[in-house]
Amino acid sequence: MRFAFLHLRCRSLVRGTVLVLVSLAASLLLSGFPHVHTEWPIVFLALAALWGTFETSRCLRLRWSFYHGGVLLLLYMDIMALTMILFLLFYPYAGWIQG
């Protein structure tokens, strides 16, 4: 198959990882980082990152191997990216910004 990562029923590390990284990059651009301002469409990017994390977690195997360890590292990366996206979403509403 030429583009096997586009088939939603098949497990794909590429699909999950790309989805999370593209969501992070888009949320950084959309929020105007480092001068963060409110943008509600970041909610959709957070949901896309959650879906990408789920796609990555589908690739876990029952027995430990180096592949399993690599997938765990990708899951940790997904969680850090998701945390950054949620920070960009909620920070402007925290009331810490003066002005």
pLDDT band with cut points at 50, 70 and 90 for residue 75: very high
Mean pLDDT of 20-40: 92
pLDDT band with cut points at 50, 70 and 90 for residue 91: confident
Residue 94, pLDDT > 90, answer no
Mean pLDDT of 51-80: 95
pLDDT band with cut points at 50, 70 and 90 for residue 92: confident
> Measured at the alpha carbon of residue 15, what is the angle toward residues 14 and 19, in degrees to the nearest 5?
115
What is the Cα–Cα distance from 28 to 91, expressed in whole angstroms?
13
Between 91 and 78, the higher pLDDT residue: 78
Q: Look at residues 2, 5, 27 and name the one whose alpha carbon lies nearest to residue 17.
A: 5
Task: Check: CB of residue 59 under 8 Å from CB of residue 72.
Answer: no
CA distances from 38 to 3, 29, 97 (A): 37, 12, 11
Record the tokens describing residue 62, joined without a space.
């029952």
Task: Report the pLDDT value the prediction gives residue 97, as an integer from 0 to 100.
Answer: 59
